[in-house]
Chain A
Amino acid sequence: MARRSTPEVNAGSLADIAFLLLIFFLVTTTIETDSGISRKLPPMQDEEVVPPVIKEKNIFQVIVNRNNDLLVEDELMELSALREAAKAFLDNGGGVGPEACDYCEGAGDPTSSDNPIKAVIMLVNDRQTEYGTYIAVQNELVGAYNELRDRTAQRLFGKSFRQMEADFNDVRYTGNKDRLKEQLEQVRDMWPQKLSEADPKN
C-alpha cells in the first residue's frame, strides 16, 4: 500500500471554541477593584466603664436628622461648608501651656478645641437618615483630616500624606519604607482621627 501523508486537521472551528470561552470570560470579568472609606469600629465595652470626661469645647457635634439636614454645633449647615468648619475646629489650637499646639495654624479661639489630639468629632445620626447622606458626611470629615495631614506632611517631609501612603503601599517604591512608616505614624499621631459615632436616635 502506498504511504499517504496524514490529512491535515481542520482547525476552522477552533476560533469558534475560543470565541465561546472568550465571551464567557468577558461576561464574568470585573476588572476594577472596589474602593471605599475604611473605618475601624470601636470594640464592645463593659457597661460599668465610665466614659472619660471630655470638655465641651473639645467636642465638635455633627447631627444628621431624619430629613438629611445637617446640624453642626447647633447651627444648620450645608454639606459643602462642613469640611472647612471641621478643619477650623481641628486646627484651632486654642490651648495654652502644656496643651498648646505648635503646628496649628487656626484662629486660636479659646472657646474652640485646645489641640488636635484632644479634639473629638461626634457624629449623631437618626435611624431614618439615608445612608448616602451619612457617607457624604463621613467623606467630608475624613477629607478634613486628610487635608490637615497633607499640610503637615508637606511642611515636614515635602510630600503630601496621601502620596506617602500611596508610596508605602506601592511595591515598586525604592525609598526607605521603614522611615516612611515612621513618618506616617508621626503625622497620624499629630492628627489622630477621633471620630466618635453615637448610637442613632430614633
Chain B
Amino acid sequence: MAKFNKKKSSELPAINTSALPDIVFMLLFFFMVATVMRENTLKIQNVLPYADQVEKLDKKDLVMYIYAGKPSERFRQSFGTEARIQLNDNFADVSDIQQFIYSERESKREELVPFLTTALKVDHETNMGLVSDIKMELRKAEALKINYTTRTGEASQNFD
C-alpha cells in the first residue's frame, strides 16, 4: 500500500484564481450594458423636490435637460449665491435657452423632434420667478412638452 502513503505537504495549496477574470468580466459586461453615461457635470446644487404622481421618462436620447439652482460651494466665489441656470456644462442666462433648444433640435433626427421633452431639474429652494422665466422661454421656442423631474416620495416632505 505504498501508493497511498505519500508524504502530505504541510502547506496549504494555493487557491485557484483562474476563474476570477471570468467572474469580473461577467460583472463588467453587465455594467457596460446597463450604463448610461453621466452627461453633465453639475455646477449647481440640485436637490430635487418630492412628488408621488410621477411618470417615468423613458428614452433618454429624447430628453433635453435644463438645470437650475444655487451655484455649488466652489463656484460661490465667482458666481454668487443667486440661483442660476445650467445648460450642458456651463452656467447660462435665461436668454440662452432658446438657442440651446434650437441646437438640441438640430442634433436630433428630424422625425424625432416632435417627441423631444424638456426635463427641468430644478433645486427645491429655487424661486418660482426663475422657473417662470425658463417656462416663458420654452414657450417662445415652442418646446411645450416639459417634465418637472422629481424624486419619488410624499409631497409633504418638501416642507421639511
**Chain A residues in contact with chain B, CB under 8 A?**
11-12, 14-15, 18-19, 21-22, 25-26, 28-31, 33-44, 68, 79-80, 125-136, 138-140, 142-143, 146, 169, 199-200, 202
Give Cα distance in the complex from A135 to B131, angstroms. 11
Asked whether B106 is an interface residue with its Cβ less than 8 Å from the other chain, the reply is no
B58 near A33 with CB under 8 A, answer yes
Interfacial residues of chain B within 109-160, with CB under 8 A of chain A in the complex? 117, 119, 122-129, 131-132, 135, 138-140, 142-150, 152, 155-156, 158-159
A131 near B55 with CB under 8 A, answer no
A18 near B25 with CB under 8 A, answer yes
Closest 8 CB pairs of A and B: A127-B129, A132-B124, A132-B158, A25-B31, A36-B149, A136-B155, A139-B51, A18-B24
- Considering the complex, give the chain B residue whose CB is closest to the CB of A79: B156
A-B contact pairs, 27 of them (CB 8 A): A18-B21, A18-B25, A19-B24, A22-B24, A22-B31, A26-B31, A34-B119, A34-B149, A35-B54, A35-B57, A36-B57, A37-B53, A37-B54, A37-B147, A39-B148, A41-B143, A44-B142, A68-B159, A80-B156, A125-B128, A129-B128, A131-B122, A132-B50, A139-B52, A139-B53, A142-B53, A200-B129
